[in-house]
Amino acid sequence: MDFDSFVLAASTADLADESDAREHADCLEFRMDLADAPLDALASYDGDLPILATNRAAWEGGEASDDRNRLDALAAAVEHDAVEAVDVELETMRSGDGQRVVEHAREHGADVVVSSHDFEDTPGMTDLQETLREACGYGDVGKLAVTAQARADVLDLLVATRAATAEGDRVATMAMGEPGRHSRAVAPLYGSRIGYAPVDPAEATAPGQYDLATLRGLVETLAGEGNSVNTPGR
């Protein structure tokens, strides 16, 4: 998957949403932990959009409770041609359990997003930057989602995003919650490489998400015609 430019992922637990997502999305984030028989769904998938497979652990806001089984399923997912990237939690990489998923993904030509979520707060600047560096050290993209208690938290996240991008790292950043909602449209201007939105607003997988069409429109409007959304400082 080409994360050298901004990628808008349509988050879904139903691959049949692909036809509705195709107009605005660049890929599907397939939430395997929310899906029934996800590997069967991947086997029968015939859509045009590539897939970023996520099998989110319960301890990181998902619904997968058995770590071994969910990682086995995530490793198996990359064997499908449509799966061009997988998401592995930073904590999973720290423990060493995620390494086999990463190695299997590499063997099948899939990229790796290493993610960290803070559902309570926005850490200080040093922690933001260190988390992004560590995640990027494990994967092709370091994803950091925090929870904004105030708009000033978004400013800190944007500074960390721009700094990481200037260092040559590929990151995806967003602030959850209402005070941080606008970060999903603004962060790409500072280098964030992935945005997430549900096809149906009623099926949002994280607090503060815009629907797919709205986020695409906001990102393109803010970027302006002919401008890159991934150029720091522009």
pLDDT digits (tens, 9 = 90+) for 132-150: 999 999 999 999 999 999 9
Q: Residue 132: which domain range?
A: 7-223
31 is in an annotated binding site: yes
d(CA 191, CA 136): 14
Q: How far apart are CA 11 and CA 29, in angstroms?
A: 5
184 assigned ligand-binding residue: yes
pLDDT at 227: 53
Told to judge if 143 belongs to the known catalytic residues of this protein, a careful annotator would answer yes
Q: In the prediction, which pLDDT does 234 show?
A: 30
Answer yes or no: is 18 a known binding residue: no
Asked if residue 2 belongs to a domain, the reply is no
pLDDT interval class at 155 (50, 70, 90): very high
183 domain residue, yes or no: yes
**Is there a binding annotation on residue 133?**
no
**Residue 176 maps to a domain:** yes
What pLDDT sits at residue 228? 54
Banded model confidence at residue 200, pLDDT cuts 50, 70, 90: confident
Average pLDDT, the chain: 93
What's the rounded mean pLDDT across residues 104-112?
98
Out of 109-113, 180-184, 197-201, 203-207, which region has the weakest mean confidence (pLDDT)?
203-207
Among candidate residues 80, 104, 108, 117, the one labeled active-site is 117
Is residue 161 included in any domain, yes or no? Answer: yes
Query: What's the structural domain count of the chain?
Result: 1
State the Cα–Cα distance between residues 96 and 93, nearest whole angstrom.
5
Q: SS3 helix, strand, coil % of the chain, rounded to 5?
A: 45, 20, 35
Residue 208 is predicted with a pLDDT of: 75
pLDDT (average), residues 26-54: 97
Q: Quote the pLDDT of residue 203.
A: 72
Indicate whether 232 belongs to any domain.
no
What is the pLDDT at residue 231? Answer: 38
Q: Is the pTM of this model over 0.85?
A: yes
User: Does 229 fall in a domain?
Assistant: no
Alpha-carbon distance of 52 to 48, in angstroms, equals 13
Bridge partners, residue 197, by sequence:
10
Distance in angstroms (rounded) separating the CA atoms of residues 127 and 176: 17
Nearest-angstrom CA–CA distance, 117 and 137? 17
Residue 232 has pLDDT above 80, yes or no: no
Active site residue 80: no
Q: Nearest Cα to 214, choosing from 230, 234, 229, 198?
A: 198
* pLDDT above 70: residue 216: yes
- The CATH number covering residue 66 comes to 3.20.20.70
Of residues 225 and 192, more confidence is placed in: 192
**Among 168, 226, 222, CA closest to 195:** 222
For residues 105 and 112, the answer to whether their CB atoms sit within 8 Å is: yes
Residue 99, annotated as binding a ligand: no
Per the domain annotation, does 54 fall within a domain?
yes
Within a domain: 87: yes
